[in-house]
Structures are given as structure tokens and as C-alpha cells.
Chains A and B, each alone.
Chain A
Amino acid sequence: MGTLGRARLAAAAGQARTLGMDGERRASQALSSGLPEGGAGGESPGDGGPVPGSSGSSALLQAEVLDLDEDEDDLEVFSKDASLMDMNSFSPMMPTSPLSMINQVKFEDEPDLKDLFITVDEPESHVTTVETFITYRIITKTSRGEFDSSEFEVRRRYQDFLWLKGKLEDAHPTLIIPPLPEKFIVKGMVERFNDDFIETRRKALQKFLNRIADHPTLTFNEDFKVFLTAQTWELSSHKKQGPGLLSRMGQTVRAVAWSMRGVKSRPEEFMEMNNFIEMFSQKINLIDKISQRIYKEEREYFDEMKEYGPVHILWSATEEDLVDTLKSVASCVDKCCKATEKRMSGLSEALLPVVHEYVLYSEILMGVMKRRDQIQAELDSKVEALTSKKADTDLLTEEIGKLEDKVECANNALKADWERWKQNMQNDIKSAFTDMAEENIHYYEQCLATWESFLTSQTDLPLEEASEDKP
């Protein structure tokens, strides 16, 4: 991944992150002084050179950020020298153009540049006096400098994943955070800890972590690093830090109040985005239902087919002249039966999880839209206050200035991530359906071969016999 490309996105994310916290005022100062000509949401071309003015103002920001952040780990990140900082910093100076995002995507496609590998496995049941829960083993392998080691092994439970997701959402309200598998599956579930459920969840959790690792911004998130590397007790103490429950609640209340307002003044491009999201959500849900139904029908077909072959064997017991033919038919039917089983498992591995993940994504997207709208609403309400009350004009103007920046950053972050998400979605959907088609082709090819060989065996033999019988 290009260092600068990464930096730009990091910057965008960084803006959202730092501004989301209490130190809005101070960070915004750095922003307003350091913004390049093109503007934060501008279309500066994806050039190779660093953006002017970044180094200077980032030093300033560095100080700000140091003050803001309480976490030790973050300090480490920001104390690195400039060259490395480009990779890791959350410099808000970098513009985030869609074009640079495309470069991002290209780099992600090259696996040899990936430097963080995560696997989730070994689910284990833990029983305490209070509860029973499952932990998963998480192995991280990395070549990144900021990690103390090149390999980590930790155990995490679902709650921990939820915590991580919450932290990421807080830090990046308008980035598209990957979905977690559901807490419970409503229908068809007898027991929370049934094997299939655990396996499906394990795979989804692995996907979740890898998606974060592949995300140009989220991959450098500090909580993410802690999640991957800290021992259980370390994680517990880390979790206790951060904004308290009350401040969170306060945010939520404000959020609800503003979410309605935001919708009215939504810019055109976001209206389009919203329409797409609504439509997409509808369609992907339908596709999910259809795919699940296909699986069900294939399963039922398989169950009936299992009986079909044996009936022919039964018949062969009474027909002495047709024994071979009937037994051959039975064996063909059984082979086709196995091929069906394989097709089913292919469907459940390749298609269903992907479609389901995007069902969850569609909900996430709606959430992201809401949060963007909220941020916008905050601004709008202040603007309204300014025009109507004319009280504390200076203060309001200052606040509005900050909010305008906040909105701009949020919008840019979303736009960039949106493009990236869309690209991924297209690839994933394309891939999943292509795999499904491939499974079906393979299934039919297998069955074809089976029946064709039966046919040749049946139609050749009589000729042989006939020639033998003739004197």
C-alpha cells in the first residue's frame, strides 16, 4: 500500500476521530490553518507528492493529539518521526479524494502487501458460577513495527467483539464498520451453543477482523490493536477507560433529536447514496431469503434422493435378468445424490455467508447515513440558532466553523469509504455468485458423466452378448 495513499485516508479518519472527542476546539485550529487549496472534500488528483503544509501542521496537531489522548498506546503511535508518521498518523490535513481511494483499493488487492493476518479458531466453552460462554482463539501475525511482536495469541469472547465494534463506531461514525454476526439467531435455534451456530459465528468473526485489518483507516485503530494483542486482564482494564456511560448516553439523546433534522438538508450525493442503500437493502434481503430457500429445497431433494437408489437395489432382488441394469441405476442415483450434497455444502460455504454479511452491512449503512445526518443536523441547528437568536454570535460562529469542518470531514470519510465499500461489495457478490454457478456446473457435469457411463455400459453389452451368441 502506498504510504501516502494510506496516510490520506488515515487523515480523513483521523479527522473524524479526533473531532469526535471533547477536544474539538483545539484540533479545529490546526485544521483551519493547515487546509490546502483544494479543500478537504476536494478533488485533488492522486498525485505522488505529499500535500503541502502537512508536516508543519501535523507537528502542531501532534501536540494537540498528545494532550487529547489518554491512552498510552496512542502516545507511542504519535511519537514516531515524520516518515513513519505518514503511515500511522491521523493527520487531518490530507485531503481524501475518491481517486486516492481507488488507489487504496488497488493496493488492497495485492496480497503480498498485506501485513496483518488474523485467524479465529478453537471455540472453547467456559463455565463459571454466573454464566457459560464461549471464547475463540485469535492468532495475529504481523510484520508491522508498531506491534511488539510478530505473532500474538489471545482469547476473546463475543462481548469483546461487541466492545471493539462500539469503539470503532465511536471513533469513526461515518466509516462503514464491518458487521458482526448476530447475537442470536431467532428462528430455528434450539440451543445457543449448537455446533453449526458456533462454526458459522467463528467464520463471521474471522471475516469481521480481517475486514478491519484490510480497511485503510480502521487497521490502525488503537483499540483494534489492543483487541488483537492484549491479554484478557489487560483488555479488561483497557475497556474501563474511555468516555463513560453517561457521556455516551448524552450523545445518544442528542443524536435522536438531530437525526430527523439531518435528513432535510442532505446533499444531493447523499440522497442518492441513501436511495441506493434503501434499494440495496431491500434487494439483498430478498436475495438472502431466496438463497436460504434454495438451500432448504436442495436439502429436501437430497433427503428424498437418498431413498431412491436403494429402491432399485430392492427391485434387483426380484428381477434376475435385470440385476445389473438395476444395480447400475442405483449406483448412478447414489452418485448424483453425493454430488447434490457437495453442491449444497458449496452453497452454504460460498454464497450464504456472503449474502448474509451484506444483509447486515445494509443495516450498518443505514446507521452510517443516520450518523452523518446527525452530524449535519448539529451544524444546521447551530446555524438556525445563529440566524434566529442572535445571541452569542461570536461563540456560535466559532462553533459553526468547527461543525462545518466536522461535517466536511464526516462527508469525505463517508464518500471515500462508500466507494471502497461499493467496490468490495461488487467483487464479493460477483465472486459469490460466480462460485455458485461454478458449483452448479460441476454438479451437472458429475451427474452427466455418471449417466453417460451407465448408458455406454448398457448399450455396449448387448452387442457383445449378441456377437457371442451367434454361432
Chain B
Amino acid sequence: MEQAPPDPERRLQPAPLEPLGHPDAGLEAVVGEEVEGARDEGSGDGTMTENNFWLKKIEISVSEAEKRTGRNAMNMQETYTAYLIETRSVEHIDGQSVLTDSLWRRYSEFELLRNYLLVYYPHVVVPPLPEKRAEFVWHKLSADNMDPDFVERRRIGLENFLLRVASHPILCRDKIFYLFLTQEGNWKETVNETGFQLKADSRLKALNATFRVKNPDKRFTELKHYSDELQSVISHLLRVRARVADRLYGVYKVHGNYGRVFSEWSAIEKEMGDGLQSAGHHMDVYASSIDDILEDEEHYADQLKEYLFYAEALRAVCRKHELMQYDLEMAAQDLASKKQQCEELATGTVRTFSLKGMTTKLFGQETPEQREARIKVLEEQINEGEQQLKSKNLEGREFVKNAWADIERFKEQKNRDLKEALISYAVMQISMCKKGIQVWTNAKECFSKM
């Protein structure tokens, strides 16, 4: 961030690694007024309370999906799906909403936005995108990205992503996010100009830090462990659910065969005919009812999947902490060694091995002037080092504080959402049972009239 040119328009863009204690009353106001109703699967009524870009409440929706063909970077023709994002501002007085912006984006642009947010807000648990490819499919669902059901579920997932970002107290104020919703053309260039890709921590560096860090904050270690378990258990659950759905589909659909046979049989039966025929009809109804039931369940699965992907977002925050902590530890280590060197030079005792010391021994003592010069350099370095260590320490503590605040926020959100999801699952089961009771009661009546 040190290299970023000052940009007046982005004054509210919190710089990464900079403490967030902005003397900005507006930010606090936003944080204080936690948004309600952030998640709504229906029409997507997410509202953002005041921030510096919008003074009114806004609604975001990903309302349509469209198949398109175009030319990709290698000038080859490709087919992709574009999604229409509509932003409406809601008048306080009469609740009417006015369409303020509408543009089309494809999945890769959402990915770009998210990657940018990950780099610039490493202390935030950044909401995940819906899956790139369909996973945990059961036999009926197509794993094809172009399949209309998949596209529809992805549309809802993308809308959900935008709503989550818009209702996040920090992320909602990001300029790039604002432009994502409002500036169709040139947005990609704008993002790339931020140079965020360069600022991203290399994977290798992060991996190295993870292995070598000595004193990470215990809470992050626990959090990492938790996110691994969350990922594992939700994956398992989704796999089992998919298999159960598959089997349930089989049970329902086979009953449909009764419908056909009963109807054929009723043709030869004089007394039983009517009863058989109408019973057969109910069997058909039963068999076809499973389609809607499983579609609803698919939405439930999507809710769980979101938290499966959130696990990765949690791990990203932990990794950043480890990186910073490792960086700090390395800096401290370096400073300590330099101090020691300095001391040795000053007192003339050689306790640590140094090449200079060695060569001096072999080729003769250095002159007092040379020694003085070296001490001077070291003292400067030590000074610098102490400054850096101080600021790194500060950064590190700020990071931990802010990250943990967001993690607490995330935890509460997760508990709310998962509980709601489980309740909605129960509601779905209840509805399925009621339908079943009705169909079989009707069928029973027909059978008893035979």
C-alpha cells in the first residue's frame, strides 16, 4: 500500500496494514447500525444503511442470467453466462424504489472483485462466491455449467454474495465494489490499475510462514482448526444428503409406474375399475411431487455450501496473521542479531561468528576507523530496525484486533444463518410430509372404494 498514489476519490478506502482506527464518525455510524435482513433468497432485499456513497437505502438484485458468446483473451469463441445486476435506491418516505444502476457481469468479474477484496481486506472474512462447478450432485442434477437449474442457483448465489458484501460494515464502503455495481465498462481496467495482484502475498511465502511461525495468537490456531473441521463435516453432510436425495427420488418415481399399470388394469375390471383408475392418478401425483421437494432441498444445500466456502475465507485470515507474525518474528530476530554484532564490535569480544571477524583473524585486524564505520552502519540499521519492529508490532496488534472483531461478527452471523437453515430444512420436511399424507389419504380412499 505504500506505493499506492493518493486518490482523493478513494479517501474512505482503508489501506491494508494500516490501522483501522480512522477518525471517521461516518464509519462508526455504519458499523453501529448493523444491517438487518441481509439474507433473503426471494427477491433479494438487502439494504445498506448510510455510507458515504449512498445516502439512501439501496437494494441489489441479480435479476437475470443470459447466455452469451464472445471472444476470449486468446481470440477464441466461447460461450458464457452474463448476469444482470440491478441497483435500486429506496426512497425513505414512500418506500418506492428507483432503478439507479443496471449492468451485466460474468462470473469471472465476480471472481476478480473478490480477489481484490481479499488482498485489500485481509482482516475481513470475505464472503465466498457460489461454486464454480456443480459439486455434490445427485444423479438428476446436471453437472453442466450451462444447465438452467445450475445457472438459476448460481444467480441466487451471486446475488447473495453481493448482499453480503453490501451489508458488511467495512466492505460496503469500498470504491471498487461501488464501481462494480455502477460502472460497466472499464471496471476491469480500474481494478487492475490498483495493482492488487502485486500486493497479494505469495502462496509460497504464506506456506513458509505457516510452518515456521513460533508464536501465533492461539485463537487463530484454534480458528484454523475449527475451519478445517467445518469444511470436513459440511462436505460429509452434503455428500450424504445428495445420496439420500437420490434414493428418495427413486422411491417416489417408482410409484409412478403403479399409475400406468392401474390405469391399464382398470380397463378390464368392471367393479374395481374406477377405484383403480383414480388411485393410479394419485400415484402419478405422488411420483411427480418429488421434483419440487428436491429443488427446495437444493436451496438448503446451497446455504450449507456457502458456509463450506466460508471456511476457506476464515483460513485466509488466519494465514495473514501467521504471515504478519512470522514477519514480526523475523524482524525481531534480525534486530537482535544486529544488536549483538554491534555490541561485539564495540567491546571487541567475538561471541558470534561473522565472516568479517574471520577474515580479520586471517588477514589481519581491521583498523579502528573501519571498525567505527561498521559500528555506525549497524547502529543506523538498529535504529531503523527498532522503528520497523515498533510499527510492525503495532500493525500486528491492530490486525489481530480488527480481524477478531470481524470474526466475532462472522460467528454470530454463522450461528444465525445455520440455525435458520436447519429450521428451514425442518419446514421443508413438514411440507413434504403433509403432501405425502394428503396423496396417500386420497389413494386410500380410492382403494377402499374398489
Q: Which residues of B contact A301 (CB under 8 A)?
A: 244, 247-248, 250-251
Q: Which residues of A contact B15 (CB under 8 A)?
A: none
Contact of A458 among B229, B419, B448 (CB under 8 A): B419
* Residues in B300-335 with C-beta less than 8 Å from chain A: none
Q: Is the CB of A452 within 8 A of B430?
A: yes
- Residue A82, interface by CB 8 Å: no
- Residue A65, interface by CB 8 Å: no
Known contacts A311-B240, A429-B450; decide if A448 and B250 are in contact (CB<8 Å).
no
Q: Is the CB of B272 within 8 A of A322?
A: no
- Residue A286, interface by CB 8 Å: yes
Chain A contact residues (Cβ within 8 angstroms of B): what range?
35 or more
- Residue A219, interface by CB 8 Å: no
Q: Is the CB of A445 within 8 A of B426?
A: no
Q: Which residues of B contact A230 (CB under 8 A)?
A: none
Report how many A-B pairs have Cβ atoms within 8 Å: 140
Complexed CA–CA distance, A438 and B447 (Å): 11
- Residue B369, interface by CB 8 Å: no
Q: Which residues of B contact A444 (CB under 8 A)?
A: 433-434, 436-437, 440
Q: Is the CB of B426 within 8 A of A448?
A: no
- Residue A437, interface by CB 8 Å: yes
- Residue A332, interface by CB 8 Å: yes
Q: How far is the CB of B366 from chain A (nearest CB, A)?
A: 62
Q: Which residues of B contact A283 (CB under 8 A)?
A: 261, 264-265, 268
Q: Is the CB of B241 within 8 A of A308?
A: yes
Q: Is the CB of B272 within 8 A of A311?
A: no
Q: Which residues of A contact B425 (CB under 8 A)?
A: 329
* Residues in B234-254 with C-beta less than 8 Å from chain A: 234, 236-237, 240-241, 243-244, 246-248, 250-251, 254
Q: Is the CB of B244 within 8 A of A434?
A: no
Closest chain A residue, CB of each to CB of B434: A448
Q: Which residues of A contact B240 (CB under 8 A)?
A: 304, 307-308, 311
Q: Which residues of A contact B422 (CB under 8 A)?
A: 322, 325-326, 329, 458
Contact of A311 among B233, B254, B257 (CB under 8 A): B233
Q: Is the CB of B426 within 8 A of A455?
A: yes
Chain B contact residues (Cβ within 8 angstroms of A): what range?
35 or more
Q: Which residues of B contact A447 (CB under 8 A)?
A: 429, 433
Q: Which residues of A contact B427 (CB under 8 A)?
A: 455
Complexed CA–CA distance, A319 and B264 (Å): 54
Among A280, A311, A433, which residue has the most Cβ atoms of chain B within 10 A?
A433
Q: Is the CB of A426 within 8 A of B450?
A: yes
Complexed CA–CA distance, A455 and B240 (Å): 23
Among A298, A303, A437, A441, which residue has the most Cβ atoms of chain B within 10 A?
A437
Q: Is the CB of A430 within 8 A of B268?
A: no
Q: Is the CB of A294 within 8 A of B450?
A: no
- Residue A318, interface by CB 8 Å: yes
- Residue A224, interface by CB 8 Å: no
Q: Mark A420-450, 1 if CB is under 8 A from B, else 0.
A: 0000001001100110011011011101100
Q: Is the CB of B258 within 8 A of A445?
A: no
Q: Is the CB of B440 within 8 A of A304?
A: no
The list of the 5 closest CB pairs from A to B, nearest first, reads A437-B444, A301-B247, A448-B433, A444-B436, A297-B250
Given contacts A304-B240, A321-B415, could you give 7 more A-B pairs where the C-beta distance is less than 8 Å?
Answer: A286-B261, A426-B271, A426-B272, A437-B444, A437-B447, A440-B436, A444-B433
- Chain A residues within CB distance 8 Å of chain B: 275-276, 279-280, 283, 286-287, 290, 293-294, 297-298, 300-301, 303-305, 307-308, 311-312, 314-315, 318-319, 321-322, 325-326, 329, 332, 336, 426, 429-430, 433-434, 437-438, 440-441, 443-445, 447-448, 451-452, 454-455, 458-459
